[in-house]
Amino acid sequence: MRIGKVRILLTVLVAVGILAGFHAADASGRGGKASETKFERGNREKARYYYLEGLRHQVEGRHAEAYENFKHANRIDPSFVEGAYSYAQLRLANSVDTMTSRAELARSLMLMRPYVDSFPEDYDEVIYYGYVAARLDSLQEAIRVYERTDTLLPQRTATLLHLSDVYFAAREDEKGLDALNRYEKIEGKSPNLTLKKISYLINRSDTAAAIREVTSLVESNPREAAYLLLKGNLFQLTENKDSVEAYFKKAEEIAPGYGAAKLALADFYRQEGDSLGYDTKTYEALLAEDFGLEEKTALLSEYLQKLIYDKSNTKRGDYLFSVLETQYPFEPSVLDLAARYNAAKGDFGKAIEKIGYAIDLDLDNDVYWGQKMSYLISDDRWKEALETYNEAVKHVDPGMGLRMLCASAAQIGEDYELAIKMYGELINHLAPLAKPVGKLELSDIPKQISLDGLEQISNIYTTIGDCSYNAGKLDQAFQSYENALLLDPENAMALNNYAYFLVENGGDIAKAADLSARSLLGENENNPTFLDTYAWILYKQGKYEEALDYQKRSIDNSAGSASESSELWDHYGDILLATGDRPGAIEAWKKALEFTEDKKAITKKINENK
């Protein structure tokens, strides 16, 4: 929110009592109308009093109080344009839904208009009004006030930039380009201005005109490397590869230490598949003195991501990383990147070591603590992950991310009591009245909670159900699944797990079948795990042929994926046997043996059916 200098001065003067006699005249120093009644004059004076109070509150940072005073001033005297404008400004800053509706935003704009028409030379306020008008798609209104300002205040050349934006938005391209040309004639050429003109020309598919613009910029200062880079970038759009490389190299030749030129060449060589050129220029860019740590970290991060994604030889990345580590050996962000890089390579031990150094240098960084926990969990070191959590809470306030990692580590380590406790804390973070264990009532959920919040809580209840089941607490597990489905009846994981555990424990098989069938609706219709559950329930119901159809789909959709498991093949064998296909069942069980270390039960089935 902007407050004009005049308004601030008025507020200060009122505060020290200098304007004690102000009530006899209005805020701009104009007297009242000779023909106005005593009642109208009283309202005018009251409105101006509330307006000045609003300004005082605004200057002192009490925007809610300022808003109420401006609103009151406008209600008492709607013809007082200063009050209406200030009221409208704070209405626009109000995030309450009713104030951000299309109709209310348009009303705020309408309240502002009398002021800008009364004081067309109040530059800042007119420009802001035009900006609001353009954002509300009132482009012709924005054009009207900007054109008037351009006429009244030609020395304020920035108006031409605003004009060009609204002209282009209104698809009056020629006027937009003319405004930019006029600005350039007064202020001179600049890369940003040329880039703005080029973008509009390219949108019009006028590549030739765009090249003329950038050529003119280069000719204005042939020794400016940034201009040469801009021209090279433009030729990239036209796919003129020879010219691209030539201008990038020329920029580098003019300014040998210019990191941007080396970076442009590195990207060019990457696109051309020249790995040697790409590595060389990336290396030189990392050494460039005009690049700071943040830029170099971003550059190397992008380079390393491409190596990992392309499954390239990471020794190239190791070498380049050593360049950055040599320059910044004790910089947490570099150590953080080293940790991420090693984790991406699968070297969690190294990742844990690097992020540990970063934590030592920045103990209050909760992201680093979370990364260490995730690397430990990935390295099957769940006990150390829990120890890391206990250490982290001494230094940082554990948010949902750290609590979730702690709960996951406890669950993996089969410490289900701790896992349920931590998952319960996550639920209470979102819904303080909700019971993590036991029956949930909808009244326990905040009315203002978002749909995403409901889905989050539903998923957490599902996980509590899984932990409770593994802990041997069946009733608690089933109630948790009921809680999950109360909040999200389409929670596919809750539907599937509830169904499977019901049928495995002699529960209501008809209910289990209904739950499982619902889990297969929509995007989950080919989920191998969910198909397996439904097939297994059909098998339990004696519907062997139908079960076989679903289990075949499960096997087909899991082939070669992480979903393919011993359990799927074991179930397939049982169902095949039930349909009379003994040889097929034996083959399925043999396949199941490939996915498990506990071979005793399946081997027994094979031997009994030979």
Model pLDDT for residues 573-586, shown as the tens digit of each residue: 999 999 999 999 99
pTM: 0.63
Measured CA to CA, the distance from residue 367 to residue 410 in angstroms comes to: 20
Higher pLDDT, 308 or 117: 117
Name the one residue in this structure whose structure tokens are 């009644």.
37
Measured CA to CA, the distance from residue 567 to residue 589 in angstroms comes to: 10
What is residue 31's DSSP assignment?
A: P
Task: Please report the pLDDT score of residue 29 as a whole number.
Answer: 38
Nearest partner of 526 among 551, 546, 553, judged by Cα: 553
Helices (H), ranges, 60-172: 63-76, 81-93, 102-118, 123-135, 139-152, 158-169
Task: Please report the pLDDT score of residue 235 as a whole number.
Answer: 86
Q: Is the pLDDT of residue 22 over 60?
A: no
Nearest partner of 579 among 539, 534, 544, 531, judged by Cα: 544
Q: Does residue 504 contact residue 535 with C-beta atoms inside 8 Å?
A: no
What is the SS3 assignment for 256-312? Answer: CCCHHHHHHHHHHHHHCCCHHHHHHHHHHHHHCCCCCHHHHHHHHHHHHHHHHHCCC
The separation between CA 589 and the C-alpha centre of its own chain, rounded to angstroms, equals 46
Residue type at 537? I
Q: Is the pLDDT of residue 401 over 80?
A: yes
Task: Please report the pLDDT score of residue 558 as a whole number.
Answer: 92
What is the pLDDT confidence band of residue 99, given thresholds at 50, 70 and 90?
low
Task: Please report the pLDDT score of residue 3 as a whole number.
Answer: 43
Percent of the chain having pLDDT more than 70?
92
Model pLDDT for residues 196-215, shown as the tens digit of each residue: 888 888 777 788 888 888 88
What is the residue extent of each domain of the chain?
504-610
Q: Is the pLDDT of residue 4 over 60?
A: no
Model pLDDT for residues 469-479, shown as the tens digit of each residue: 999 999 999 99
What is the pLDDT confidence band of residue 238, given thresholds at 50, 70 and 90?
confident
Measured CA to CA, the distance from residue 549 to residue 540 in angstroms comes to: 15
Q: Is the pLDDT of residue 391 over 90?
A: yes
Task: Please report the pLDDT score of residue 5 as a whole number.
Answer: 38
Summary mean pLDDT of the chain: 87
Residue type at 78? P
Give 125-130 contacts, CB < 8 A, sequence gap 24+: 125/2, 125/4, 125/85, 127/158, 127/159, 127/162, 128/2, 128/89, 130/162, 130/166
Mean pLDDT of 447-473: 94
Nearest partner of 402 among 379, 377, 432, judged by Cα: 377
Q: Is the pLDDT of residue 439 over 70?
A: yes
**Phi first, then psi: what are they for 541, rounded to 5°?**
-85, -5
Q: Is the pLDDT of residue 309 over 90?
A: no
3-class DSSP assignment, residue 596? coil
Q: Is the pLDDT of residue 30 over 90?
A: no
Q: Is the pLDDT of residue 438 over 90?
A: yes
Task: Please report the pLDDT score of residue 1 as a whole number.
Answer: 38
Lowest mean pLDDT among 64-78, 281-295, 373-387, 548-562: 281-295
Q: Is the pLDDT of residue 69 over 70?
A: yes
Q: Which two tokens stand for residue 335?
A: 């150590």
Name the one residue in this structure whose structure tokens are 């929110």.
1
**Phi first, then psi: what are they for 399, rounded to 5°?**
-80, -170
3-class DSSP assignment, residue 238? coil
Q: Under 8 Å CB-to-CB from 505, ≥6 apart: which residues?
A: 474
What is the pLDDT confidence band of residue 455, given thresholds at 50, 70 and 90?
very high
Q: Is the pLDDT of residue 504 over 50?
A: yes
Q: Under 8 Å CB-to-CB from 361, ≥6 apart: which residues?
A: 330, 332, 335
Task: Please report the pLDDT score of residue 323 as a whole number.
Answer: 86
Q: Under 8 Å CB-to-CB from 172, ≥6 apart: which residues?
A: 143
Lowest mean pLDDT among 316-330, 470-484, 548-562: 316-330
| In this structure, CATH architecture of domain 504-610 | Alpha Horseshoe (1.25)
3-class DSSP assignment, residue 397? coil
Q: Which two tokens stand for residue 304?
A: 């390393």
Percent of the chain having pLDDT more than 90?
56
Count of C-beta atoms within a 10 Å radius of residue 341: 23
What is the pLDDT confidence band of residue 32, given thresholds at 50, 70 and 90?
very low
What is the SS3 assignment for 190-215? Answer: CHHHHHHHHHHHHHCCCHHHHHHHHH
Task: Please report the pLDDT score of residue 318 as a whole number.
Answer: 86
Burial of 230 (0-12, 13-18, 19+ CB in 10 A): buried
Q: Does residue 502 contact residue 462 with C-beta atoms inside 8 Å?
A: no
Q: Does residue 604 contact residue 572 with C-beta atoms inside 8 Å?
A: no
Count of C-beta atoms within a 10 Å radius of residue 270: 18
Lowest mean pLDDT among 403-417, 529-543, 596-610: 596-610
Q: Which two tokens stand for residue 189?
A: 């050429």
Q: Residue 179: in which H helix or E strand, if any?
A: helix 173-187
Nearest partner of 483 among 520, 436, 421, 530, judged by Cα: 436
Model pLDDT for residues 129-186, shown as the tens digit of each residue: 999 999 998 999 999 999 999 999 999 999 999 999 999 899 898 899 999 999 999 9
Mean pLDDT of 477-493: 96
**Phi first, then psi: what are they for 425, rounded to 5°?**
-65, -35
Task: Please report the pLDDT score of residue 527 as a whole number.
Answer: 95
Q: Which two tokens stand for residue 400?
A: 């949902």
Q: Is the pLDDT of residue 409 over 80?
A: yes
What is the pLDDT confidence band of residue 8, given thresholds at 50, 70 and 90?
very low
Task: Please report the pLDDT score of residue 117 as a whole number.
Answer: 94
Q: Does residue 566 contact residue 592 with C-beta atoms inside 8 Å?
A: yes
Measured CA to CA, the distance from residue 442 to residue 292 in angstroms comes to: 53
Measured CA to CA, the distance from residue 339 to residue 370 in angstroms comes to: 12
Q: Residue 454: in which H helix or E strand, if any?
A: helix 451-470
Plot region of 554 (φ>0 → left; ψ -120 to 50 → alpha; else → beta) = alpha
Count of C-beta atoms within a 10 Å radius of residue 167: 25
Burial of 575 (0-12, 13-18, 19+ CB in 10 A): buried
The separation between CA 29 and the C-alpha centre of its own chain, rounded to angstroms, equals 50
CA atoms within 13 A on the CB side of 341: 27
Measured CA to CA, the distance from residue 406 to residue 385 in angstroms comes to: 7
Task: Please report the pLDDT score of residue 95 as a whole number.
Answer: 65
Q: Which two tokens stand for residue 447?
A: 């009315």
